[in-house]
């Protein structure tokens, strides 16, 4: 640790020196892989590319950019990892847990920047959020659950039971549900779970919560996000307010969401990629959490789902749908 | 295509070669449409991953995975034989059940093995050979052993009874073969092979994931059919060889598709390109036959 404390300012100084210099003209290559194509994950890819372009790494100037998705298939994710390692790019960006694991298992020397992995430590990508000392670093989209619970309480101050619809087969959701189960009692609330292993189960799972819960909270579960309208229907019909974790769901009918803007997460990931392209060692860069959380609220949905939002909450929102 | 990506295709192809052998046994030899493999592949991965994380020896963990797979296959057969549930439906039931069971076994949707000892890392020599080459060579050895063992079994008395059960159950029964027992044994072996594939896949790819099983049967069938169209033979030795070659070829097609960007194709076209390549592989024998007919006439 003592050594690292010395190294980091030195590195910082070196980086700012590099930043002051014009970008090297030699061809550099960034390979991006994602487990599936879906709006949030695609926004990350777009954010990474935008950050690179902003910093002068464009394809016109010789940046070799490639993107591959495994189309939901882990065996293909493994093959993409092999292809990338064979191509020897300067940085590999791996989006979502299975893709990141495949890449990290395939190379110990090419720099890897993971993104949108909720729990990189549990996924064994890094040993902790400290600098890893290996070829791996990245950005986690883990949400600060205290702030999520505060939002739930701000929307429904008297809530006793929080309902959650989620896919038990999704690593990201399992982590959130486990933590919520442990944390909610501290706030005098309990959790009621409803599992939806397929997108078509989301509506039925939500209906099973009617009468038992005061509010339905959802994390960024892929199934739930894909079938959010089914949840909105239940929320509107049964007057249960919906609190989500991704801002897009607010447009679709959630009352409020305090969530990661995935495009910004991509920009943040891109900034790490740029540092590495400019010579930083991934092993000396600590893993990061998402910086920009945005609050979105939907007043129409609030009326339909029987809650009145406080002015404080509405004022602090980045986006209010009236 | 880089050398690294070719070795990768060979390694993953050989792992799916085990799945292809499994599908050959259930689908072709026993004539049992068995979808259990979509569940037994991740079952093998789950059991191996959980045990390795619990500090079991990776070989023992892999063996347990194989036994778990055998149990799953036997269950499908039992539902079919004893409870008279239609074969396809019985296998679907077990496949669906295995999704929940796998989640139970794993306790989480994803178990990483990146930092754990695996059969590959334990055997990996310190020097002289890089890990990606070594993994492929080890897989060649494993697949050759499994293939030869399966070939040897299928010419024993019991193996012949199993083949008879598949090709003509009524005749087999008339000859005194307990066809129900043969189906149970056959599916147990088939799913044990598939679980072995899953266990090895998890160990070579950094972990088990609940979504691993999706489409296993499709890939297994594709490997069997591609293999048969390229190397069609009634001889047992060539039948098993053909499906392994088919599985490896399929992976080479995927690797090729991943490298198809130079002709203006994009990431989202991957499945389409793979399908086209496999179609071409299937059509080649037909074209060859037509040419031969024309040449002869």
Q: Point out the residue among A37, A86, A98 whose CB comes nearest to the CB of B5.
A: A86
Report chain A residues whose CB lies below 8 A from the CB of B113.
Answer: 124
Phi, psi at A115, each rounded to 5°: -150, 155
Instruction: For residue A257, give the H/E element and its range.
Output: strand A256-260
Structure tokens belonging to residue A82: 């092999």
Do B255 and A97 make contact, defined as CB atoms within 8 angstroms?
no
Give the single-character DSSP code of B28. I
Across the interface, which of A79, A101, A173 has its CB nearest the CB of B207?
A101
Place of tokens 């919520």: A180
A105 CB neighbours in chain B (<8 A) are: 114, 204-207
pLDDT at A12: 52
pLDDT tens, residue by residue, B276-294: 877 887 787 778 788 877 7
H or E element in which residue A320 lies: strand A319-321
Of B1, B7, B110, the CB nearest to A171: B110
CA distance linking residue B29 with residue A172, whole number of Å: 41
Per-residue pLDDT of B185-196, as tens digits, reads 999 999 999 999
Residue predicted with more confidence, B55 or A2: B55
pLDDT computed for residue A25 by the predictor: 47
Residues A296-320, buried b or exposed e (16+ Cβ, 10 A)? bbbeebbebbebebeeebeeebeee
CA dihedral B19, B24, B27, B31 (to 10 degrees): -150
B157: left (phi over 0), alpha (psi -120 to 50) or beta: alpha
For residue A18, what pLDDT is reported?
A: 45
pLDDT per residue over B56-83, tens digit each?
A: 999 999 999 999 999 999 999 999 999 9
- SS3 string of B236-252? HHHHHHHHHHHHHHHHH
Mean pLDDT by 10 residues, chain A (322 residues): 48 48 65 89 95 94 92 91 95 95 94 94 94 96 90 94 94 89 96 93 94 94 89 95 92 93 94 96 95 91 94 92 89
Q: Is B115 on the interface with A (CB under 8 A)?
A: yes
Helix (H, G, I), strand (E, B) or coil at B274: helix
Q: Do the bridges between strand A91-95 and strand A64-69 make them parallel or antiparallel, or are there none, so unpaired?
A: unpaired
Q: pLDDT tens for residues B134-148?
A: 999 999 999 999 999
Q: For residues A84 and A113, is the Cβ–Cβ distance under 8 A?
A: no
Among left, alpha and beta (phi > 0; psi -120 to 50; other), residue A96 is left
State the pLDDT confidence band at B45, using cuts at 50, 70 and 90.
Answer: very high
Q: Do B205 and A78 touch (CB under 8 A)?
A: yes
- SS3 category, A65: strand
Please list, in sequence order, all residues whose beta carbon lies within 8 angstroms of the beta carbon of residue B119, skipping any fewer than 6 positions away.
Answer: B58, B59, B62, B138, B200, B203
DSSP designation for B178 = -
Give the tokens for residue A196: 């939806």
Q: Strand A256-260 vs strand A293-298: parallel, antiparallel, or unpaired? A: antiparallel
- Say if CB A262 and CB A290 are below 8 A apart: no
CA angle B2, A280, A124 (to 5 degrees): 65
Q: Which of A83, A97, A102 sits opposite B258 (nearest CB)?
A: A83
Task: Name chain A contacts of B202, Cβ cutoff 8 Å.
Answer: none
pLDDT value at residue A4: 47
Give SS3 for B107.
Answer: coil
**Which of A37, A102, A168 is closest, CB to CB, to B103?**
A168
Could you tell me if A155 and A309 are in contact, meaning their C-beta atoms sit under 8 angstroms apart?
A: yes
Q: How far is B232 from chain A (nearest CA, A)?
A: 27
**CA separation for the pair B164, B246 (Å, rounded):** 25
User: How far apart, in Å, are the Cα atoms of B101 and each of A176, B42, B98, B199?
Assistant: 21, 10, 5, 16
Give the residue-averaged pLDDT of B160-167. 96
B36: nearest Cα among B92, B85, B104, B103: B92
B97-102 long-range Cβ contacts below 8 angstroms, 24+ apart: B97/B39, B98/B36, B98/B38, B98/B39, B98/B40, B98/B42, B98/B43, B98/B72, B98/B213, B99/A169, B99/A197, B99/B39, B99/B210, B99/B213, B101/B39, B101/B43, B102/B39, B102/B42, B102/B43, B102/B46, B102/B210, B102/B213
- Is B133:B4 a contact under the CB 8 Å cutoff? no
Q: Are A72 and A35 in contact (CB under 8 A)?
A: yes
As given in the structure block, the two tokens for residue B21 are 């052998």
A-B contacts at Cβ under 8 angstroms: 127
Chain A residues near any Cβ of chain B (below 8 Å):
37, 66-69, 71-83, 85-87, 97-98, 101-102, 104-106, 122-125, 127, 168-171, 173-174, 197
DSSP-based three-state secondary structure for A30: strand
0.95 exceeded by pTM:
no
For residue A300, give Cα distances in angstroms to A157, A308, A311, A316, B14: 19, 10, 15, 17, 56
Closest CA relative to residue A213, chosen from A183, A250, A238, A246: A238
For residue A168, the chain B residues in CB contact (below 8 A) are 103, 109
Residue B87: partners with Cβ closer than 8 Å, 6 or more residues away: B32, B33, B34, B80
A85 vs B contacts (CB less than 8 Å): 4-5
Of the ranges A22-31, B101-110, B121-130, which one carries the lowest mean pLDDT score?
A: A22-31
Residue appearing with tokens 């002051």: A20
CB A103 within 8 A of CB A84: yes
> DSSP E strands: which ranges in chain B?
110-112, 207-209
Predicted local distance difference test score (pLDDT) of residue A8: 52
Nearest CA-CA distance, residue A82 and chain B, Å:
5
List of chain A residues whose C-beta atoms are within 8 Å of the C-beta of residue B271:
71
Please enumerate in sequence order all residues whose Cβ is within 8 A of that of B181, keeping only pairs 6 or more positions apart, or say none.
none
Residue B53 contacts A where some CB pair is shorter than 8 Å: no
Percent of chain B with pLDDT over 90: 74
Query: Residue A158: which residues within 8 A CB-CB, separation 6 or more?
Result: A214
User: Exposed, middle or buried: residue A137 (CB in 10 Å: 0-12, 13-18, 19+)?
Assistant: buried
Q: Which residue of A has its CA nearest to B209?
A: A98
Structure tokens given for A169: 């087969």
CA–CA gap between residue A227 and residue A165 (Å, rounded)? 11
Mean pLDDT of B36-58: 97
Distance CA B35, CA B90 (A): 9
């Amino acid at each position: 640790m003592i050594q690292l404390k010395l190294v980091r300012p030195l590195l910082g100084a070196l980086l700012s020196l590099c930043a002051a210099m014009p970008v090297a003209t030699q061809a550099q290559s960034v390979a991006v892989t994602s487990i599936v194509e879906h709006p949030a994950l695609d926004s990350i890819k777009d954010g990474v590319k935008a950050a690179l372009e902003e910093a002068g790494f464009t394809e016109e100037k010789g940046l070799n950019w490639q993107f591959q998705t495994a189309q939901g298939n882990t065996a293909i994710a493994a093959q993409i990892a092999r292809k990338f390692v064979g191509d020897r790019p300067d940085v590999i960006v791996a989006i979502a847990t299975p893709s990141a694991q495949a890449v990290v298992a395939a190379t110990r020397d090419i720099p890897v920047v993971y993104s949108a992995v909720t729990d990189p430590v549990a996924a064994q990508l890094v040993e902790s959020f400290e600098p890893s000392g290996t070829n791996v670093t990245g950005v986690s989209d883990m949400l600060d659950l205290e702030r999520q619970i505060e939002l739930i309480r701000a929307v429904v101050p008297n809530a006793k039971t929080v309902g959650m619809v989620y896919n038990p087969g999704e690593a990201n959701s399992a982590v959130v549900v486990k933590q919520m189960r442990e944390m909610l009692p501290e706030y005098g609330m309990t959790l009621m779970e409803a599992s939806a292993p397929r997108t078509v189960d989301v509506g039925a799972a939500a209906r099973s919560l009617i009468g038992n819960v005061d509010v339905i909270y959802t994390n960024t579960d892929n199934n739930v996000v894909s079938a959010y309208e089914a949840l909105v229907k239940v929320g509107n019909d049964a007057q249960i307010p919906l609190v989500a974790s991704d801002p897009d769901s607010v447009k679709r009918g959630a009352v409020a969401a305090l969530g990661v803007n995935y495009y910004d997460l991509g920009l943040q990931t891109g900034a790490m990629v740029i540092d590495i392209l400019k010579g930083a060692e991934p092993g000396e860069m600590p893993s990061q959490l998402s910086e920009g959380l945005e609050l979105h609220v939907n007043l129409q949905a609030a009326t339909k789902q029987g809650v009145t939002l406080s002015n404080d909450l509405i004022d602090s929102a980045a986006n209010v749908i009236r | 295509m880089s050398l690294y990506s070719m070795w990768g295709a060979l390694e993953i192809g050989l792992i799916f070669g085990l799945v292809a052998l499994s599908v050959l046994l259930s689908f072709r030899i026993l004539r049992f449409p068995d979808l259990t493999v979509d569940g037994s592949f991740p079952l093998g991965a789950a059991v191996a991953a959980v045990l390795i994380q619990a500090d079991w020896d990776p070989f023992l963990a892999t063996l347990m995975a194989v036994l778990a797979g055998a149990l799953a296959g036997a269950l499908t057969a039992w539902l079919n034989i004893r409870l008279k549930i239609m074969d396809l439906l019985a296998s679907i039931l077990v496949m669906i059940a295995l999704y929940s069971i796998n989640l139970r076994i794993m306790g989480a949707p994803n178990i990483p093995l990146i930092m754990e000892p695996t059969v590959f890392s334990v055997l990996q020599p310190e020097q002289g050979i890089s890990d990606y080459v070594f993994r492929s060579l080890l897989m060649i050895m494993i697949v050759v052993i499994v293939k030869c063992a399966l070939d040897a079994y299928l010419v024993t008395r019991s193996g012949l009874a199993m083949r008879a059960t598949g090709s003509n159950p009524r005749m087999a029964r008339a000859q005194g073969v307990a066809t129900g027992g043969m189906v149970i044994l056959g599916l147990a072996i088939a799913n044990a092979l598939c679980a072995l594939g899953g266990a090895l896949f998890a160990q070579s790819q950094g972990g088990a994931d609940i979504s691993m099983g999706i489409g296993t049967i499709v890939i297994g069938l594709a490997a069997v059919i591609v293999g048969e169209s390229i190397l069609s033979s009634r001889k047992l030795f060539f039948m098993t060889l053909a499906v392994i070659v088919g599985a490896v070829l399929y992976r080479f097609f995927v690797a090729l598709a991943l490298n198809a960007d130079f002709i203006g194709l994009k990431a989202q076209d991957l499945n389409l390109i793979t399908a086209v390549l496999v179609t071409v592989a299937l059509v080649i024998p037909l074209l060859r036959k037509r040419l031969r007919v024309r040449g002869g006439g």
